[in-house]
Chains A and B, each alone.
Chain A
Amino acid sequence: MLCGVTAGAWLGAAEAPTKLVTLGLSPVVISLSMVIGVFLARWTIPALIQGTSYVAADLRQAPHLIVWAVLAGCLWAVANTLTIFAVRDVGLSIAFPLWNSNSLLGIIWGIVFFRELRGADRRRWLGVIGGALLMFVGGTALAAASAAQVPAKDAMRGVAAALAAGALWGTMYIPYRKAYLTGMSPLSFITFFTVGELGMMTALALTYSGGATELWSQLSGAKHVLFWLLAGGFVWVVGDLFQQYAVKYAGITRGIPLSNTNQLWGLLWGILVFGELRGASQSVLAQVIGGSLVMAIGAGLIALSSVSGTEHARWEEAAADEAGRYGVDPEYTRARIAGEDAGSRRRRTWIDWAVVTVATAVIVRFALVARSPQIALNTGWAIALVMATLAMLALAASSLWRTTRFN
C-alpha cells in the first residue's frame, strides 16, 4: 500500500515535463526523449540494486516473460505518446482523470484473469470497487472543473487520446501481474520491458516525424530541453517501480488505484507550480477541491481493504496455474511471491558498472547543454513538492528493503 501511494507521488511529478509541449515541441519528440530517460533509468537502477547477473538468473527461470515484458513496453510507449497529444489538446488537469480510468480496467482484468478479490469478504469488495468508483467520480469532477477552458475543436481528439491511453495502461497490468504471479522480480521485468518501450517509441517517432533525418533535426533543435524530458522519464521509472511492487504485493485491484493518486500530485504540480486554473471562478475551485477530496477518500478506502488470507490463497492458486502452464519451478514461484531470493545471488560485475557509467555520462552530457525552459513556474512550491516526494521515496524504499530486499 505504501508503494502504491509513493508511486502516485512520483508518477505525478513525472508528468510535469510534459508541460514542455506548450513550448511547441512535437509530441513524439517529447515522448521519445522521455523514453530514452526511462531506458537509461531502467537499466541503471536494476544494475545498481541487484546486478545484471540477478536479472539473468530470473530470466533462466521464466524466459517466456521476455515476450510479456516487451509487449507491456510497447503498450506503455503508445499510451505515453497518446497522453502527450491529450495534454496538448485538453490540458493536464482534464487529461489526467481520463487516462486514470485505467485503474477501473485494471481491476476488471485482475478479477477476470488473476482471481483477485476472490474469497474476499463483502467489506473488501465494497472498499476496492467503491474506492475505485469514488476515485473515478472525483477525477471526473476535476475534469469538468476545467473543461470549459478548452477549445471545443481540440477537445474530442484530446479526450479520445486520453481514454485510449487509459485502455492501454489498464491492459498493461496483465503482463505485469503475469510476471509477478510467476515470481519475477520487478527490477528484472522492467529491464526487458524497456526494450519494447524504446523499440516501439523509436518506430513511432520515425513514422510520425517523417523519417530519420527529420527526427534527428527535431531532436537537435530541442537539445536544450532534452535533459528535462530525460529527467522526467527517470522520475517516471522510480514511480513505476513502486507501482510494480504495489501490483506484486497488493495486486492490481489495490496497487493501481492507489498509484493513481498521481492525479492529485499532478493537480498540485499544475496548480501550485505551473499556475493552472489561475483566475478560475469560485465554483470551479470548489469543484477541484471537492473532486480531489473524493479521490483521496476513494484511495483511503482501497488502502484499508488489504488482502485477506483467503484471497491470498486464491492468488497462490493462480500462481500455481501460471507456473504449471509455462513449466516454471513451483518452488521459485512460491519463494518469490513471499519476497524471498529463491537461491539467486546479488553481485555486481564490470557489466553493471559499465551500464551505470554510460547512463550517467549520457545524462551529464545532456545536462551540460540544458537551459532552463522558458515556462513560468513557482520555485518555492516546486521545491516543497520535490522534498515531499523525496521523503516518500525514502520511507517506501526503506520499508520495502526491510521486508523484501527489493524482491
Chain B
Amino acid sequence: MRDVREQNTGSWLGLVLRDAQFWVPVGVLVAGLLVLRWIS
C-alpha cells in the first residue's frame, strides 16, 4: 500500500515537472528574488 502511494506521489510530481507551464512561474520567482536582492 505504502509503495503504491509513493509510486503515485512520484508519478504526479513527475507530471508537474514535465508540465511546461510549471517552469514559467518558477522562472519569474527566481527573477523576483534577484530583483529583491538588488534593491535591498
Contact = CB atoms under 8 A, between A and B. Distances in A.
- A and B from one complex: yes
B25 to A, nearest CB: 5
Nearest to A109: B24
Interface in A27-59: 27
Contact of A160 (B12, B13, B28, B35): B35
Given A161-B35, A174-B24, A208-B40, A78 B29 contact: yes
B24 to A, nearest CB: 6
B36 interface: yes
B6 interface: no
B29 to A, nearest CB: 5
A353 interface: no
A160 B38 contact: yes
A345 interface: no
B29 A160 contact: no
A81 B32 CA distance: 10
Given A64-B12, A68-B16, A325-B19, A172 B25 contact: yes
Nearest to A177: B21
Contacts of B38: 160
B20 to A, nearest CB: 9
Interface of B: 8-9, 12-13, 15-16, 19, 21-22, 24-26, 28-29, 31-33, 35-36, 38-40
Given A27-B40, A85-B40, 14 more contacts: A63-B8, A64-B15, A64-B16, A78-B36, A82-B32, A161-B36, A167-B31, A168-B28, A168-B29, A171-B24, A174-B24, A178-B21, A204-B36, A326-B15
